[in-house]
Structure 1
Amino acid sequence: MIKEQLEEVERKIQAACERAGRKRDEVTLIAVSKTKPVSDLWEAYNHGVRFFGENKVQELTEKYDALPGDIQWHMIGHLQTNKVKYIIGKVAMIHSVDSLKLAKTIEKESAKKNCVTQILIEVNVAEEESKFGLKINEVIPFVEKIALFDHIKVCGLMTIAPFVENPEDNRLIFANLQKLSVDIKKKNIDNVNVSILSMGMTNDYEVAIEEGATLVRVGTGIFGARNYGI
């Protein structure tokens, strides 16, 4: 099933790129593998997937140890400061940076390992009470503060759009994140490159691609419904 689902997702990504006049290689598919067994990840890996996203630190580290070293792991879930030390040096990117406290912890732990950690700023574009992330008007002052850190590299923005029946309802959310990235670029802040936009999930990634997504996070569309009972 995973092979067929991957082929369908790939077809939809290709079609969305064509509609937007974009090249296919401008969009990276992240297979969101939370709650899924290592066997499922192996199957996706054997069909070419090299980018995996996890929401929980423990799950990420366990899978990191069980799977090949050429995988790029993305931490996409809310990250507690006391868990940061377990993933520094293992993750290609942290998508969910939304506080100065968290940024400082990532800086400190990255300095200990003498590495630079790539991060995205999580933006709560829709300002949903249930979601983490900065409001749009908080992002530029925040970026200006953490741009001074030596062991963090701001690479872009991430948002989790509301779950909607009609993906078109999220088009403005994605367009607003893209506009924010343009506004940040105009500031020419040292050590900041907001070329990455992580937006769009199984329900709405095609619309997100049309609005400029460079990373799409697809879980259910690849692996099927999740079992939260494990």
Structure 2
Amino acid sequence: MGIFWKSKKSNAQVVVVTKYLDAEKTKEIWQEIGAHKEVWGLGENRVDALIQKNMPREKVHFIGNIQSRKIPEIVRHSSVVHSLQKVEHAEKFASTLHELEMGFFIQINISREPQKSGILPEDLGNFLEKIKPFELDIMGISAMGAGEFDADQKRREFRELVSLRDIYLPGKLISAGTSRDYEIALEEGIDVVRVGRGFFEE
């Protein structure tokens, strides 16, 4: 599978997005790929899918929009969140986790599109200060870039993410890149790519 070879070559990890698959198929896929060192986990974007599939918590990453009332279920069924963007959500996660371990990526609206979720790049420093009292395990930053793009635009987005990470969270990770642009992401030094349809179509 090309994605694994390319990720290994770039010293990156893959989150395999299984939001399009039912519970049975998701379990089959995990049995096939779970042993690959490059596979960090499975990505889901809906809380009801987390509950229905009921995969081992440590293997599951939540990549969807966060609703405050569903945070307890996100905590119960996943171990990494790629979409933290509100202070009130950080506070609720902190009060819900208790002894459970969970990693968080702060979602950046790197394309600055009003319809996109995430905080603006220039607000990252302030956001980090606001959530510091909650002592969450911040693993890095994440982003979903422009829906329509050319390669040069995508490279600029990835390079800005690398710059933001190096300024505010040196040594941490960047989660970005999808089935359509993961090769560019790997070339630009992105640490974690999230690949769904492109993976299953290989």
User: 2 CA distance for matches of 1:59 and 1:160?
Assistant: 21
Aligned-partner Cα distance in 2 for 1:42–1:107: 30
Paired amino acid for 2:133: L
The residue that corresponds to 1:120 in the other structure is: 105
In the TM superposition, residue 138 of structure 1 has moved relative to its aligned partner by 0.6
- Going from structure 1 to structure 2, the CA distance change for 1:149 and 1:71 (only over 3 Å counts) comes to closer
Shift of 1:163: 2.5
Structure 2 partner of 1:203: 180
- What is the aligned partner in structure 1 of residue 193 from structure 2? 216
Q: Would you say 1:81 and 2:58 are equivalent positions?
A: no
The aligned counterpart of 1:141 is 126
Deviations 1:6-36 (A, max 9, x none): x13224435xx4xxxx4xxx31111101131
Q: 1:179 aligned to 157, 163, 188, which one?
A: 163
Distance of 2:18 and 2:101 partners within structure 1? 25
Aligned to 1:28: 13
Are 2:25 and 1:40 aligned?
A: yes
Cα 1:107–1:71 change in 2 (3 A) is closer
SS at match of 1:155: strand
1:196-217: CA deviation from partner (whole Å, max 9, x where unpaired): 1001000001111112211100
Structure 1 portions without partners, runs of 5+: 1-6, 187-193, 225-230
Consecutive aligned runs of 4 or more in structure 1 exceeding 2 Å deviation: 8-14, 114-117, 163-169
Structure 1 contact 147–153 (Cα < 8 Å) conserved:
no
Q: Which residue of 1 aligns with 2:137?
A: 153
Quick check: which has more Rg, 1 or 2? 1
Distance 1:109 1:136 in 2: 28
The amino acid that maps onto 1:213 is: I
Mapped contact 1:174–1:208 kept (Cα < 8 A): yes
Distance 2:149 2:125 in 1: 31
Contact persistence 1:125–1:161 (CA under 8 A): yes
- Is 2:57–2:76's contact at 8 Å kept on the other side of the alignment? no
Q: Across the two proteins, how many residue pairs are aligned to each other?
A: 196
Q: 5+ unaligned residues in a row in structure 2: which ranges? A: none
Residue 46 of structure 2 corresponds to 56
d(CA) in 2 for partners of 1:169 and 1:142?
Answer: 26
Q: What do you get for the CA RMSD once the two structures are aligned? A: 1.9
CA deviations 1:54-100 (Å, max 9, x no partner) are 00111012212xx4x38510000111111001121431211101011
Which amino acid letter does the alignment assign opposite residue 46 of structure 2?
A: K
Report the CA distance between 1:39 and its aligned residue.
Answer: 2.9
Aligned-partner SS, 1:30: strand
Q: Distance in 2 between matches of 1:170 and 1:91?
A: 29
Match of residue 129, structure 1, among 88, 96, 114: 114
Normalised by the size of structure 1, how large is the TM-score? 0.78
